[in-house]
Structure formats: structure tokens, C-alpha cells
Structure 1
């Protein structure tokens, strides 16, 4: 199983870079950068400059915050900087944040994302001297000519998807379906993979060539119950100050509509303690990777064959140290998984 952290929530660039270096030293497969409090692109450049072999990617950049042309150029540059270690994860972003921060209505993203990903893939693969022309219902592009050869024939592009329509689109136009945190083994095995493969093959693509990276809430603590309690708090946080539409949808698709309704009611009012008490244990068991390092290692093993990569979003623990030291349990987990 390919394993690595999702960074981007740390207090300093020094911590981001230092954690990435530590991950490389223990044999993690990748370091992915989130676009949250920091730019995923800037973080990726910093990590690329500080590492030698580990795969570096964005998970994910917000397509509505940038043009597809510039995103393609950025991916070409980062791939060259890294010596061919870069992967581009792209998504729609949070519909609420797009509205609040940028005044953008992203509530109907399918056509935009189809155009966006197709332009990006053409730009990253364009040989020196070739032109890229594209005419879509949302984005158009003309007259651009690649001035130099890309390092590789293409850069992997993953499209973040949760709902069935976006998953279908990801299978049709991208290199992989970037699944967000809170996906059970059954969700990946019975819904994501078979539907994506069928959608790819329906448009003449090889379904076997699709990749399936999966985000995961990973709560590691030598005290198993403390890890689970931290995971409960993290799940509740996804519904504050308003429910995150991606995770709300993903919960409901996996049969937890009652819990999603409860969280949608309590968390906007700040009733975290009550929400944690009412959260079903089955959600922690099946939608997170929580417990001691050994318990988490066994949970990760359950995803063998259904996810190609686990992108670990670290869950903060009560009274944990600051900086790189907070990642010691995750580093231990990576070492344990690699030793299996």
C-alpha cells in the first residue's frame, strides 16, 4: 500500500518541509499538499526543493481559483523542478468557500471541470512548438504554443470526486479519482472502483489504468480510545460552521444519513460535546483509521486492492507536542506498514 501524509495545516513552512523530509526518510510513498490555510502549489514547490525521491502532489488545488492554462503551466514547472515526481490533484473546492472568499458560484461544476481537466492535460503534455486549442461550453483556449518540451510525456492529473456524476467525469477525463476522507472499504470496493472502471471503459478508456488515491482521517495514539475520541471531534468539525457538502454527501452515500442530519443540526450551533456522544461508533470504525499504530496498520491493510494510495490527514491529539514531533505517531505508522 502506498502511504503518505496530507500536509497543509501546519503553523509554519518549516514544519511542512521538515515533516516531508522525515516522511521521505522512513519510506513514505508520497507527500500531498492541501489547499487550506496555505497555497498547495507554494507548499509543493517548497517540499520538492527539500526532498529527493518522494512523490509530491497537490490534494487538491481549487479549480475555481485559477485558470486551466496556468494550472497546466504550474504542473509542468513543478514536474520539471521535481525531476518527474509531481502529481496534480484538482477539485472544485468547497462551494461555500468559493462563494465567501471569491464570490464564485460553483454549485454546477460538471461542465467546468470537464473543460478544466481536459485543458490541463493537453497543456502538461504539449511538446515544444505545439499549439493547444480548446473550445468548450465553459472554457476556451487558443493561440498558446508550448515554448519548451515537458520533462515527461504527461503529468498525472487526479480529479477529486465524491458524488456519482463527478466520479463518472473523473473516470472519463482524468488519470485517477481522488477520493476524500471518510471512505469505507465497502464504498471504495463496491461503489467507487467498479463505477469508475465502467465509466472509463464506456468512453473507450482502459479502466485498469485508472488510479484510486484515497484521503483518510488517521488518528494515531498509544491510547486507542483517545485516538477514537480525537477522530470523533474531527468528524464533527467537518460540519462546523456549516456542513461541508463533500463530506455530508459522502456520509449519506454510505448509509449514515441520520448521523449527517444530526451533525448538520448540532454543529452549526457549536454543540460539539453532544454531537460526539451521538456519533455512531460504526462511523469511527468504518470511515476513519483510528487507534494505536498497530491497530491503524491493520486498518490500512483492509484497503489493499481497493485503494492504490492512502493520503493520511493527521488528526490532532489532546496535549500533543507541537511541530514535527506531533507527527511521530504517523511516522511510526508508516514504518510499521512498510515493514509488513
Structure 2
């Protein structure tokens, strides 16, 4: 499983028109991207993984990330085994604890102990009839305790909505062995005003979630910056501008210790597959 290059993180490949998703995944492979990553907001996640694996030949398909509250370890392990048997070593299982509403949907009022929940899920994957190997999974780790767990129990980390500074801190904590595979949101545009118009409300939705807000506070941002989506915070989390600006930000992650960067493209029309932007980035990020 080669994760040395740049990947694409895309909600469209998961929840968009599935015929176009298959065609787009095949094109992304031809463009030279190393992986595609899809989120888990409900629905048949492993069917979507299989759909993308069947549409491609070499590219890695990763979950970015599977919400452990929405799937049982038995289902997860069996799906990983069957997809790997059918398509080779191309399915990387990204696992995350998600947010409190997902846990409440499974068991209302359930205490929120993310680290214990992740440990228990990994224990069950290890003891399943067809276990998910440590090398076949990464964790959505932001804080130091989850990062440490990822270093002990997974191939590495796939953190979402992070900065190159977080990548550096993660690398320092994990050491040289585990993979560091951050997501990086990007906007191809001509001005700060255009970038803010596309990205501010999108970003505000994530900053309302305690895990993302808490991580940014740990990284040195002030509470008022998180609450207001300050320009400094926006620019740290979303790379915007031309292809060279995006290339620089991806390069900052690599310089900080990333093995692979998954770029997520935002556009003015969130429903449309950003295929032209993917083509432009493929040429710039080679």
C-alpha cells in the first residue's frame, strides 16, 4: 500500500451521484493521486468503499474516517476482510470516535469517554474472526492521548482540520515509524474575499464541535478566534489562492513530517464534483 503521494478527500465520492463518483475515482487514479478518502456521515459506508475499489485498479481507498459509533467491530472486520480479499491491499480503515450526537443515537445518555471507546473498538477488531491488522488501520487522532494510542495500536493517524504545526507535533510524539496522513482543506480562488465567502460558514460548522475547537485551543488559538473564525484561524486551516499557494501548504505538511496529505477542495457550489480543480491540483502537486 503506497501512501507516499498526495490524496483527495471528498464528500462527493461518498454521497454524490455514484456513477460520477466511480468515473471521478478512475480519473483521480489516472491523474496520479495516491489515495481517495471518504467520510462517514451515515449510510452503507463499506458499500461505498467497494464501489470505489471496483472502479479503480491501484489507488488506495481510505475512510476519513469511519465513525465507530455507527458500525460494530464484527461488521467492520468482516467488511475489511472481504474487500481486501476482492481488491488486494488497497483499503485503509480510518477509525474515529466522532461527536457526541452519534454516540447518543446509539445509546442515549452514554458517557463520552473517547479514548476508552477507541481502545474497546480496537480490542474487538483484534479478536474478530478475521481481524483488521494493525497495518490496515489508522486513527483520527488530534490530542496527545489519542496520538499515543495510534502509535501503539494502528499504522498511524489521519487527522482532519489540522495545521502543519499539528503535523509537526504529531510527528514528534509518534516518532519516525507511524504514518502521519493529514487532511488539508483548500480553495482555488483569486482573493481572500472569495475564499472567505466559500469557506467561513463551512468552517464555522466544524468549529462548533468540541473536539475540533479543543484541538485549536491546544494549538494556541484564542477562544475568541475560534468563536469568530478569525482571519488567522481561517488562513491556518484552509489553504487558498492559486496552485502555488496550495503546493506551498502541502509542502509545509511534508516538511513537518507528513507521509501523505489528503486535499479536500471547497468550491462555491458544494454539490458539484470539483473535477476541474482536481485536475489543476494534480498537475501542481506532482
Q: TM-score range by the shorter chain?
A: 0.7 to 0.9
Deviations, residues 291-328 of structure 1 (Å, cap 9, x unaligned): 222211121111114211112222232xx49644x331
- The structure 2 residue matched to 1:159, chosen from 130, 133, 139, is 139
- The structure 1 residue matched to 2:205, chosen from 227, 233, 237, is 237
Deviations, residues 22-49 of structure 1 (Å, cap 9, x unaligned): 2111100101111025443221110001
> For residues 122 and 100 of structure 1, do their structure 2 counterparts lie closer, same or farther at Cα, with a shift above 3 Å needed?
closer
Hey, what does 2:32 align to over in structure 1?
Answer: 27
Whole-angstrom CA distance in 1 between matches of 2:284 and 2:226 = 37
Deviations, residues 109-142 of structure 1 (Å, cap 9, x unaligned): 222311322332454xxxxxxxxxxxxxxxxxxx
Report the number of matched residues: 280
Whole-angstrom CA distance in 2 between matches of 1:253 and 1:154 = 28
Hey, what does 1:3 align to over in structure 2?
Answer: 6
Hey, what does 1:290 align to over in structure 2?
Answer: 240
Contact 1:220 1:330 (8 Å CA) reproduced: no
Whole-angstrom CA distance in 2 between matches of 1:155 and 1:195 = 19
Whole-angstrom CA distance in 1 between matches of 2:5 and 2:50 = 22
Shift of 1:248: 1.1
Contact 1:225 1:291 (8 Å CA) reproduced: no
Higher RCO (C-alpha under 8 Å, 6+ residues apart): 2
| TM value normalised by structure 1 | 0.74
> For residues 23 and 121 of structure 1, do their structure 2 counterparts lie closer, same or farther at Cα, with a shift above 3 Å needed?
farther
Whole-angstrom CA distance in 2 between matches of 1:102 and 1:327 = 39
- The structure 2 residue matched to 1:169, chosen from 110, 135, 149, is 149
- The structure 2 residue matched to 1:211, chosen from 179, 186, 195, is 179
Deviations, residues 153-191 of structure 1 (Å, cap 9, x unaligned): 77521011112221221112111122111x2212211x2
Whole-angstrom CA distance in 1 between matches of 2:265 and 2:127 = 34
Structure 2 residues without counterparts, runs of 5 or longer: none
- The structure 2 residue matched to 1:308, chosen from 259, 264, 267, is 259
CA RMSD of aligned residues (A): 2.5
Whole-angstrom CA distance in 2 between matches of 1:162 and 1:153 = 22
Contact 1:248 1:260 (8 Å CA) reproduced: no
Contact 1:168 1:195 (8 Å CA) reproduced: yes
Contact 1:228 1:291 (8 Å CA) reproduced: no
| TM value normalised by structure 2 | 0.87
Hey, what does 1:132 align to over in structure 2?
Answer: none
3-state DSSP of counterpart to 1:209:
coil
1:336 paired to 2:284: yes
> For residues 28 and 335 of structure 1, do their structure 2 counterparts lie closer, same or farther at Cα, with a shift above 3 Å needed?
same
1:184 paired to 2:163: yes
Hey, what does 2:50 align to over in structure 1?
Answer: 45
3-state DSSP of counterpart to 2:142:
coil
Whole-angstrom CA distance in 2 between matches of 1:252 and 1:235 = 15
